[in-house]
Amino acid sequence: MSGQQGAGSKEQGETASAPAAALHAPRSMLPASFPGPIEIAPHFRPRPRLRHAIMDWDGTVSLLRGGWVEVMVDVCIESAPSLDRTLVHTEMLALNGKPSIHQMVRMAELVSASGGTPQHPDEYHRIYSERLARAAEDRVRELRAGGSRDAHTVPGAIGFLDALAARGLAISLVSGTSHPELIEEADLLGITARFGGRIHGPRDLADREFTKRAAIHALVAEHEVSGEDLLAVGDGPVEMRETKALGGLAIGVASDESTPGSRRFDEHKRRQLLDCGADIVVPDYVDATALIALILGE
């Protein structure tokens, strides 16, 4: 997910969605010892050669902007109360992974289509950013005062990163959240070193040029990563589609940000991630050891 990032338009050159054929995995498809909730798509196959992992940030690792999509939906509904909240929620998630100005453009389109008078996307962006910043600032303040880092990450995320690194995978962070914020927040959560300097995001909140698609392709080229070597983990459609287009393994994280630790799927995210080609969807990383064994075929 991106806390700075809704669905009509796709990124230019974005690949088509995979068929919505993913099914809830029968227990017989899983190692007998797999302990928790998971969904496996029929096209999943283990990848023992994985050597580079691309991680999203908000909702995939960090919860500092937890609830960002609800903030975005609130801003839209205030301009057009007749809009269906579930529809808006789906539309905002559909551009998850792009800088949030793209979602503001879509928001204005939805308001206009409903018969309302939209504000300029820049104004929506200002309102949304200010509200989200207030929520994030409270969490950042708590961290700086010595609060628990685990309380502000998807359960098990730090252990999952460490387990990937222990298997020899290089890990890159690619997010629609601005680069300065990514650096600050990774530092606060004590995980900057896990990315080895490979942290990629828009220059600032107004950057309309950055796309995850371009960043993922640039990383693959720079590090000479083949599809068999590539793992992407995220809660948005862009990283799922692009990774599958490159022949990589895509793990969707459908974290329920409203109740961290509940081990429940966010149903909007779960359906979207499967529809976009995810090989596996999990609600968190509590089962990190079993998950890594599964994806490596051990």
- Both 158 and 45 in one domain: the answer is yes
Q: What is the pTM of this model?
A: 0.82
Q: Are residues 226 and 260 in the same domain?
A: yes
Q: Residue 245 belongs to a domain with what CATH number?
A: 3.40.50.1000
Contact between 288 and 156 under an 8 Å Cβ cutoff? The reply is: yes
DSSP state of 263: -
DSSP secondary structure letter of residue 96: B
Which of 116, 144, 172 marks a domain boundary?
A: 144
133 shares a domain with 60: no
The count of structural domains within the chain is 2
Whether residue 57 sits in one domain with residue 74: no
Q: With contact defined as beta carbons under 8 Å apart, do 192 and 13 qualify? A: no
Cα separation, 21 vs 23, whole angstroms:
6
- Residue 15 maps to a domain: no
Measured CA to CA, the distance from residue 26 to residue 233 in angstroms comes to 22
Asked if residue 227 and residue 86 are part of one domain, the reply reads no
181 and 252, same domain (yes or no): yes
Give the helix ranges, DSSP H, for 145-266.
Answer: 157-166, 179-188, 212-222, 237-245
87 and 229 in a single domain? The answer is: no
Q: Is residue 9 part of a domain?
A: no
109 plus 171 within the same structural domain = no
Is there a single domain that holds both residue 256 and residue 196? yes
pLDDT tens, per residue, the chain with 298 residues? 444 433 333 343 333 333 333 344 434 345 556 788 999 999 999 999 999 999 999 999 999 988 888 999 999 999 999 999 999 988 998 887 677 888 999 999 999 999 999 999 999 999 998 999 888 888 889 888 888 899 999 999 999 999 999 999 999 999 988 899 899 999 999 999 999 999 999 887 667 788 888 999 999 999 999 999 999 999 988 899 999 999 999 999 998 888 888 999 988 889 989 999 999 999 999 999 999 999 999 8
Q: Which residue range forms the structural domain that includes residue 74?
A: 68-144
List the end-to-end C-alpha distance of the chain, in Å, as a whole number: 29
Burial class (CB in 10 A: 0-12, 13-18, 19+), 86: exposed
Whether 129 is in a domain gets the answer: yes
Domain final position from 144, 159, 186: 144
**Does some domain include residue 13?**
no
